[in-house]
Amino acid sequence: MRAYGYAKVNLALRVRGLRRDGYHELSSLSQSIDLADTVELIDAGVEVDTPGVPTDHSNTALAAVEAVRAAAAGNPAGVRLTKVIPTRAGLAGGSADAAASLALAGEHYDVAAEVLARIAPEIGSDVPFCFVGGTAVVSGRGEIVEPLDPLAGFALGVVVPPIELSTAAVFSAFDNLGPSESPSMGGAALPPALREFGPLENDLYPAAVHVAPGLAEWRAELSSRWGRPVAMSGSGSSLFAFFADLDEASSACDEVPVGSRLSAGCAVVDRGWTIER
């Protein structure tokens, strides 16, 4: 038995002030896409095929399994991760792994879904959305997830430049910079299914560019090549644009600058994870 954890794209991300707990108040239109990591349970520890991913108890997938095991008073287990979602890219790869691990451990230890949902925010801010998945408005620090009807009628071209961004560094830059104008996407630039939510903006984009100026060059180059607006997901560095269908998105992603860590046409999906038995 294995689980697939789907990446998250912030179609829009607004950042408010600091909360008393030290987190920022957020409002995001979040969407799961079919870019997925694979999670399997093993006897102990963490096995992962990608350098730089933690293999100790700071690994969110292992933390999720251990939390479910504790709730069930079961025997210890570990995780094997096969990564496809780039790290430090604003696609919630670690949270996707944690959500898939919650689901898989829930099956293994026979823990109810409502218990898993209560565990999710304890693991990480993006884990509640990744556990629910699909399309949702996310608020608070990420723990409040309001599912929406599934979106359809478009695909995404997703490119991750050769830039790794620390979420903490980007939020720190956001706090230091103060209010800054972010690129806005609305009207006919949006697929019909998204126009009621427009204009879409990511408040963290100026901060991400402050930390990594090369991100602006990648965004401008992609926009020029694709002939359409390009936005950033999360705290970066992933960039995306809307296309009519998966074929068009995939073709566009064949024509990107050399050096990207990922370039893929992606379909939207209506869940955060899938278990394969």
The residues annotated with a catalytic role in the active site are: 8, 126
Quick check: helix, strand or coil at residue 8? Answer: strand
Q: What angle do CA 113, 4, 264 make, to 5 degrees?
A: 135
Query: Who contacts 80 (Cβ-Cβ below 8 Å, separation ≥6)?
Result: 39, 40, 41, 42, 46, 47, 48
For residue 199, say if its preceding peptide bond is cis, omega within 30 degrees of 0. Answer: yes
Please choose, from the candidates 33, 35, 34, 14, the residue with its C-alpha nearest in 3D space to the C-alpha of residue 25: 14
SS3 202: strand
Contact 241, 232 (CB under 8 A): no
In three-state secondary structure terms, 7 is strand
